[in-house]
Amino acid sequence: MASINTAARLSRLPAARFVSRAPLTLSAPRARWLSTAPQPAPALEPAPPSDFLAKMGERCSREALYPPALEQHRREASGSKAADNTGAITIELRGRVAVWTLNQPEKLNPLNVTTLSRLTQLFAEAASSPAVDAVVLTGSGRYLSSGAAFFDVGVDKVNWPSVLHSQVARLNVGIFHPFIHFPKPLFIAANGPAVGGGTTMQLLCDAVLAAPGATFHTPFKKLGITKEGCSTLTFAQKMGSEGARRMLDEGEKLSAAEAARLGFVDVLVEEGSDLVAAACEFAEGWVSEGRGRRILEHNTLDELDEVNEQEGQQLASAIFSKAFWAATLRKAAGLK
């Protein structure tokens, strides 16, 4: 009787309570996480089309020099449209040379939402200002820049991998877009170490002046990501294939002296000298000679845009790789 009652009770249970014991299989998107190589965007949704940048309107179009929608996106992603970013970069006008100083020394001057939003504004203002002939970019404190802060560049908290892929690609392109399109001479005064995007952005400028204590590092391989900031083009053009290989493929950190020997650094300023003053004097001489953007002596804007867009797509795909997340977990755990 007990067995009959048990069967009767089971027959009255809702079907939803019974769980299938079918063998566990990995869906295609999850299986990609096991890959050691960067992969295309997971196919939970159709992957971003090859011409997706053309469909983004003002966010990153080639016609919109300093896309306001990108600024809006970063502010919204940071949680405050009215956030004050004016302190992230200090401004000084020395004659007709504007000096912009990355001013988050306690964070080692990262390329985060606040800094990138401010840079976008400053590039737009300086491009149209009759009072500015050239710009010098430097840093406060020990570092020039510790590079892009991946979790603080305006990436939304999204569920769909294809959406995340599109956002990362778009935002990475947006970091370097103003450097490429700025119409006036642009110089770096490297006061200290530069890492990742803080290094690659320098060769989108017209010359690099460095203090003896500066270093230059692109640890993309260690971080499990791909090259960015048009570095697949600009590094070889300025340093040759050997220098590009050492920095980009091997991730070698260069001292200022070695970077000058290889051609990454144009002027190595003597110890104790005023780096920013030297950079401003160099900029004035450049302008007086009637020189424009060096990067356009070897490349067109369209070529630079194309490389920037390709690298943005590749980097976005890399964040779905096992190598990236293994590196991220090692860093979080304090492991080398």
> What is the pLDDT at residue 9?
46
> What is the pLDDT at residue 18?
33
> What is the pLDDT at residue 4?
44
Higher pLDDT, 14 or 154: 154
The answer to the question of residue 31 being in a domain is no
CA distances from 150 to 5, 112, 138 (A): 60, 8, 21
CA distances from 288 to 99, 188, 284, 285 (A): 18, 18, 6, 5
Q: What gap in Å lies between CA 185 and CA 207, rounded to an integer? A: 9
> What is the pLDDT at residue 158?
59
What percent of the chain has a predicted confidence (pLDDT) above 70? 71
pLDDT > 50? residue 47: no
The answer to the question of residue 329 being in a domain is no
The answer to the question of residue 274 being in a domain is yes
Instruction: With CA atoms as reference, report the closest residue to 296 among 179, 212, 198, 199.
Output: 179
The verdict on pTM exceeding 0.85 is no
Mean pLDDT of 147-175: 77
User: What is the side-by-side strand order in the sheet with 134-139?
Assistant: 89-94, 97-102, 134-139, 186-190, 207-210, 267-268
The answer to the question of residue 68 being in a domain is yes
> What is the pLDDT at residue 70?
44
| Burial label, 121 (beta-carbon count in 10 A; 0-12, 13-18, 19+) | middle
pLDDT > 70? residue 89: yes
pLDDT (tens digit per residue) in 202-227: 999 999 999 999 999 999 999 999 99
CA distances from 124 to 67, 128, 178, 183 (A): 9, 7, 8, 10
> What is the pLDDT at residue 325?
82
The answer to the question of residue 229 being in a domain is yes
Mean pLDDT of 46-70: 37
The answer to the question of residue 18 being in a domain is no
- Note the Cα 54 to chain centre separation in Å: 20
Higher pLDDT, 36 or 146: 146
Higher pLDDT, 163 or 6: 163
The answer to the question of residue 36 being in a domain is no
Mean pLDDT of all residues belonging to the chain: 80
pLDDT > 80? residue 257: yes
**Residues sharing a CB contact under 8 Å with residue 325, sequence separation 6 or more, in sequence order:** 33, 224
> What is the pLDDT at residue 162?
82
Helix (H, G, I), strand (E, B) or coil at 251: coil
pLDDT (tens digit per residue) in 178-206: 999 999 999 999 999 999 999 999 999 99
> What is the pLDDT at residue 335?
73
Domain ranges, residue 265:
42-312
> What is the pLDDT at residue 324?
86
| Burial label, 278 (beta-carbon count in 10 A; 0-12, 13-18, 19+) | middle
Q: What gap in Å lies between CA 87 and CA 102, rounded to an integer? A: 9
pLDDT (tens digit per residue) in 138-153: 999 999 999 987 666 5
pLDDT > 90? residue 77: no
Contact between 114 and 164 under an 8 Å Cβ cutoff? The reply is no
> What is the pLDDT at residue 288?
98
User: 């090692």: which residue's tokens?
Assistant: 330
Q: What is the b/e burial string over 9-46, where b = at least 16 CB atoms within 10 angstroms of the residue's CB?
A: eeeeeeeeeeeeeeeeeeeebeebeeeeebbebbeeee
pLDDT > 80? residue 28: no
The answer to the question of residue 118 being in a domain is yes
When divided into structural domains, the chain yields a total of: 1
Region of 30 on the Ramachandran plot (φ > 0 left; ψ -120 to 50 alpha; else beta): alpha
Cα atoms in the 13 Å half-sphere on the side-chain side of 242: 5
Instruction: Enter the tokens of residue 235.
Output: 């590094």
> What is the pLDDT at residue 121?
95
Instruction: Enter the tokens of residue 37.
Output: 């190589």
The CA-based diameter of the chain, rounded to the nearest angstrom, is 104
pLDDT (tens digit per residue) in 285-324: 999 999 999 999 999 999 999 999 999 999 999 988 888 8
Q: What gap in Å lies between CA 283 and CA 275, rounded to an integer? A: 12
> What is the pLDDT at residue 298?
92
CATH of the domain at 147: 3.90.226.10
One-letter identity of residue 10: L
* Confidence grade of residue 80 (pLDDT, cut at 50, 70, 90): very low
* Alpha-carbon torsion angle 225, 229, 233, 238, nearest 10: -110
What phi and psi values does residue 94 have, to the nearest 5 degrees? Answer: -110, 100
Contact between 180 and 312 under an 8 Å Cβ cutoff? The reply is no
